Amino acid sequence: MVKKNNVLIIMADQLAAQALKLYGNPVCKTPHLDELANSGIVFENAYSNNPVCVPSRASMLSGLLCPEIDAFDNATELASSVPTMAHYMRSLGYWTFLSGKMHFIGPDQLHGFNERLTTDVYPANFDWIGNWTEGPSYVPSGTALNGIVEAGPCTRTMQEDYDDEVEFQSLRKIYDLSRFENQNPFFGIISFTSPHTPFNVSQKYWDLYDEKDINSPDVSPIPFDDLDYFSKSLFFAHGRHRHTVTEEHIRKTRHAYYGMISYIDNKIGKIINLLDETNQLHNTAIFFVSDHGEMLGERGMWFKQCFWEWSAHVPMIAKIPGAPKGLRSSVITSLVDLLPTILEIGNDEKPTSFSDDLSGKSLLKFAYNKGETKNSFAISDYYHIGPCVPTRMIRQDNLKLIYTHGHPSLLYDLENDPHELINLADNDNFKDDLSNLLSICFQNWDPEKINDKILQSQKRRLLIKSVPGEKPNWDYIASIGDDKRYVRKDGVDATKGKLRIPPVESIPPDMPALSKDEIDAMMKGKKTFKFNEK
């Protein structure tokens, strides 16, 4: 009997597709990802189903959109009753493992995996809850733009500590899996935390790039009064009203970001080479994705948490044994498509029975250059900090809808307007297109009901978080000392210089804070914000 193909998903964190050479950026150096792309298929239009870590990963693992699993913010649980990739693959006879970050919240820290090889880099408690009653100025922790104004090279970062451990444990597991002829096929996820903010990288990878070659954002900062409601809300939630961002800050941030990507690319090369050396590459399907993107200064914005292309568009590469090499597909896809795809691989391409009607579709036929791309679409939701109302993105063919509940819709033609500068929502020539995308948006989705459910969820979790006394500790700890080594309230503080060697004192905001009333007035257009982007 022929052994089934192994399946391996390699993840980066906060990696925008547009940062990569294989998606058109000439600066970033990723020889191993380029080689993976040449040996498989590149999905040119892949999206995150939620541009923030916890909901995105929960959606990907379950194959369901965020409203279907109540995945709202970075402190929501994935219910133990929801089957994941690991459950499904184990039901097909696979041995399953998770190495690295998955940011599970709550007491279930396995969600079906046979084993976890590492501690998670982030806490598993209700630490980072959205709180819509506080409005757009609310941020669960830290001063967001410190990751930008403090960007640059260093001797060592905590994230490199973590990703080196993920690499070590993953390579050791690959060796272990190669030792037994009768070993079950394996399904594994190797998930790195880079190139997530803060944007610092060791000197070796900083020096891969010449400062003069670092490209600038394609779209300059947009004046506050010209921003849509969603973008205005993130202006405050991300702290852009507190820090002055200079050209030097932008250049150093992009420089460090590219270095962090090259650092991850090096690890991907080691993983693939070891699969080859241990005679497992020929029968291992490999996928590379990110959970969401990074704005990287485009439009004057940073981080993720929005539906602009640099935030929502993610890389997706697949190398399938026996499939053609060097393909590129224009099909509109998203991370929820991974589950039905790997199950088709694991079930010998036979129909698979699911416990739910999955939100995604199998991409396997596209890897064999047989799929139909017309009318394909992707849905992304966002319910965390910023606008404090339900928001949703629909991408179909060349058009993209951004729906912010209670505010004007935005519509863009990405083929003719890739930088999303011309809103077509009020253009009569696109009236039917807008109606079609809105009908997709509202199918099985009621923003009023979602809004009530989110507020109730926040209220419950905030009460639990506020109870005095000993808090439950759900963190998965793989090695002694990891509870102090990575980001925890009593370990590494994500807002302090302990993240880097040598330590860097946190740069305080250079502009005064605004009251909630002042921010509310600005959001309603009753007052404007004036500042100079240097």
Q: List active site positions.
A: 53, 103
Answer whether 312's CB lies under 8 Å from 69's CB: no
Asked if 293 and 13 touch (Cβ cutoff 8 Å), the reply is: no
Task: Classify burial at 140, counting beta carbons within 10 Å of its beta carbon; exposed 0-12, middle 13-18, buried 19 or more.
Answer: middle
- Give the residue from 258, 339, 336, 326 showing the smallest Cα distance to 15: 258
> Residue 141 in contact with residue 240, Cβ under 8 Å?
no
* Closest CA relative to residue 72, chosen from 457, 486, 468: 457
- DSSP3 helix / strand / coil % (the chain, rounded to 5): 35, 15, 50
C-alpha–C-alpha distance, residues 401 and 61, integer Å: 25
Q: How far is CA 26 from the centre of its chain?
A: 22
266 closest CA partner among 171, 172, 200, 157: 171
Tell me the β-bridge partners of 314. Answer: 46
Per the structure block, which two tokens stand in for 11?
């993840």
Q: In a 3-state reduction of DSSP, which class is residue 380?
A: strand
Beta pairing partners, 332: 45
Q: Count Cβ atoms within 10 A of the Cβ of residue 490 and give its class: 0-12 exposed, 13-18 middle, 19 or more buried.
A: exposed
What is the rounded distance in angstroms from the CA atom of residue 407 to the CA atom of residue 430?
19
B/e letters for 259-289, b = 16+ CB within 10 Å, e = fewer, are: bbbbbbbbbbbebbebbeeeebbeebbbbbb
Question: 379 near 335, Cβ under 8 Å?
Answer: no
- Residue pair 305/234 in contact by the 8 Å Cβ criterion: yes
Pair of tokens at residue 51 = 């541009």
| Alpha-carbon span 519 to 515, nearest angstrom | 6
Give backbone dihedrals phi and psi of 303, rounded to 5 degrees, phi first.
Answer: 65, -140
